[in-house]
Structure 1
Amino acid sequence: MATQPFNHNYPPGTSPSHVLPSRPKSAFERWVDHGGDFLTKYWALIITVGLGTLVVTAIAIPFLSYLGLDSIAKPLFFALHYVCAQIPSHSIYVFGHQLGLCERNFSIYTSMFLTSLIFVLSKKRMPGIPWWLWILMLLPMAWDGTTQMFGWRESDWVLRVITGTLFGVGNIWFALPLMQKSLVETTLPPHIKAMPRNTHRSIQ
């Protein structure tokens, strides 16, 4: 007697391998998933907090020295040497004590912090700038720094602050919106990606 094959009622377009139960994730895999979700959601805030911490530390150093807390101020000052040359003649002084960052770097990191803060407060919806405008905002500092480095001219604190601010604002204004756009396009489901681009912002 011929036997009839047993028919499995798999959903259309699937095979037995598609309906097998998935292996439970290990604790490490769950931890990695949670970490990835956290970074995806709060990456811009992390950058902003980091920049803000750098600026606050630079400002706090002369006040700590003024209060006689050199045991705290000096290690912080030397730590900031990794991000700034701290040239005394190019630095700001408060109560006779040198700020933790030179004039140019202080303007760079302060403007980067403030621009990234605006980006976060806009819920990461701040529109970016085109690449050519970004380049234009970098050129003044490149010109000022290069001509000074080769001894062709001497810059002053006004030019260092202005060019540093343009450099800091330009970098953040270009980079963070671009990073957010790439992140959204990577994580959106296929049916959302197919929607017009102007609807993506309402989904973020």
Structure 2
Amino acid sequence: MKYSKILCHRLPERSFHYRNHQFPVCARCTGFYTGLAVFLIYNYFFTVHYSLTLLIISIILMIPAAADGFTQLFGWRESNNNLRFLTGFIGGIGLIIFMKIAIRITYYLIGVYL
């Protein structure tokens, strides 16, 4: 098994290409990583108040990526790279917010306060 396929399937028809070179990850993963990076940069410059409402919003933000992926996986419809990127981007923002809240809760439960 190739180690590069552990994090992403890297199918050529589901990946972006630039000058005949395939991106190292698929369109959805490109969106996820871009969303993660954009939110982390935003979070560096602006204060984000993590709350239960934001946790619920983060879960809602991940739903389009899951719906897009599962409907394509089960063959109910065929997605395109632009939609994959967009749902991945939105899902990436939701995922990083969810992870930051989960880390804060874990630290709180073990007695480490941030």
Bucket of the pairwise TM-score, normalised by the shorter protein: 0.7 to 0.9
CA RMSD of aligned residues (A): 2.4
The one-letter amino acid paired with 2:75 is G
1:46 corresponding residue in structure 2: none
Q: Which runs of 5+ in 2 are unaligned?
A: none
The one-letter amino acid paired with 2:64 is P
Aligned length: 110
In the TM superposition, residue 80 of structure 1 has moved relative to its aligned partner by 2.8
The one-letter amino acid paired with 2:103 is M
2:20 corresponding residue in structure 1: 96
In the TM superposition, residue 109 of structure 1 has moved relative to its aligned partner by 1.3
In the TM superposition, residue 177 of structure 1 has moved relative to its aligned partner by 4.1
Alignment of 1:165-184 (within 5 A): 165-180=89-104, 182-183=106-107
User: What secondary structure, in the 3-state scheme, does the structure 1 residue paired with 2:23 have?
Assistant: strand
Residue 38 of structure 2 is aligned to residue 114 of structure 1? yes
| Distance change (3 Å), C-alpha of 1:116 and 1:80 | farther
Instruction: Give me the whole-angstrom Cα distance separating, in 1, the residues matched to 2:61 and 2:21.
Output: 31
User: What secondary structure, in the 3-state scheme, does the structure 2 residue paired with 1:83 have?
Assistant: coil
Which of structures 1 and 2 has the bigger CA Rg?
1
Q: TM-score, normalised by structure 1?
A: 0.47
Q: Is the 8 A contact 1:84 1:101 kept in 2?
A: yes
Q: Which runs of 5+ in 1 are unaligned?
A: 1-77, 189-203
Q: TM-score, normalised by structure 2?
A: 0.80
Q: 1:126 aligns with which of 22, 39, 48?
A: 48
In the TM superposition, residue 83 of structure 1 has moved relative to its aligned partner by 0.5
2:112 corresponding residue in structure 1: 187
Q: Is the 8 A contact 2:55 2:97 kept in 1?
A: no
Q: Is the 8 A contact 1:105 1:164 kept in 2?
A: yes
Q: Is the 8 A contact 1:138 1:166 kept in 2?
A: yes
In the TM superposition, residue 175 of structure 1 has moved relative to its aligned partner by 2.1
Instruction: Give me the whole-angstrom Cα distance separating, in 2, the residues matched to 1:130 and 1:94.
Output: 36
Q: Is the 8 A contact 2:59 2:98 kept in 1?
A: no
Alignment of 1:1-204 (within 5 A): 79-119=3-43, 121-122=44-45, 125-128=47-50, 129-180=53-104, 182-183=106-107, 186-188=111-113
The one-letter amino acid paired with 1:96 is N
Q: Is the 8 A contact 2:72 2:78 kept in 1?
A: yes
Greater RCO between the two (CA within 8 Å, min separation 6)?
2
Q: Percent identity?
A: 27
| Distance change (3 Å), C-alpha of 1:177 and 1:122 | farther
Instruction: Give me the whole-angstrom Cα distance separating, in 2, the residues matched to 1:130 and 1:137.
Output: 10
The one-letter amino acid paired with 1:106 is T
